Amino acid sequence: MNNNKIIAKTLTGTNAKLINTSVLLLRLTIGIILFIVGSGKVLCWFGGFGFDTTVQFYGKMGFSVPLTYLSSYTEFIGGIMLTIGFLTRPAAILVFINMLVATIVMLPNGFLGPSGASYPFTFLVITLIILLAGPMDYSLDYLLIQHNIF
């Protein structure tokens, strides 16, 4: 009977540190990728095409220049904010909306494949998880709250 409790705990149990670490890994993964992609769109970093090419590309999809700015800077600045866990939930909301639009725009190309909706949909789900869970303990938000700065 004792072995059954150990097996059940192993299969279904968790602890706060593992949850904190899991959310940190999600934040780091999406934050770093968004920062790299966004900085490529905005500043031509990491092999990106820069803002002029990004505006032309988004324009072909029917997006205005202000929406292109909004989307590109959401990825760039939102990526930084999610990575360090600063204003995490507001950043997650903005990235969630951005990825929702990207998913809808890419869905006519199919779900899978290089131009499909699976990539932005994955980011949409990750930001939803971060939004629901919050930044957790391993974040700048948590440190600022612990020191009564927020």
Q: Where are the domains of the chain?
A: 15-146
pLDDT at 58: 93
Indicate whether 90 pLDDT > 90.
yes
Residue 53 φ then ψ, to 5°: -70, -35
pTM of the model as a whole:
0.88
* pLDDT tens for each residue of 92-110: 999 999 999 999 999 999 9
- Distance in angstroms (rounded) separating the CA atoms of residues 20 and 11: 19
Question: Which pLDDT score, from 0 to 100, does residue 11 have?
Answer: 86
Tens-place pLDDT, residues 1-30: 577 888 888 888 888 899 999 999 999 999
Q: What is the pLDDT of residue 1?
A: 55
Closest C-alpha among 107, 45, 110, 99 to residue 75: 99
Structure letter (DSSP) for residue 109:
G
| Rounded to 5°, angle at Cα 82 from 80 and 85 | 105
CB atoms within 10 A of CB 147: 8
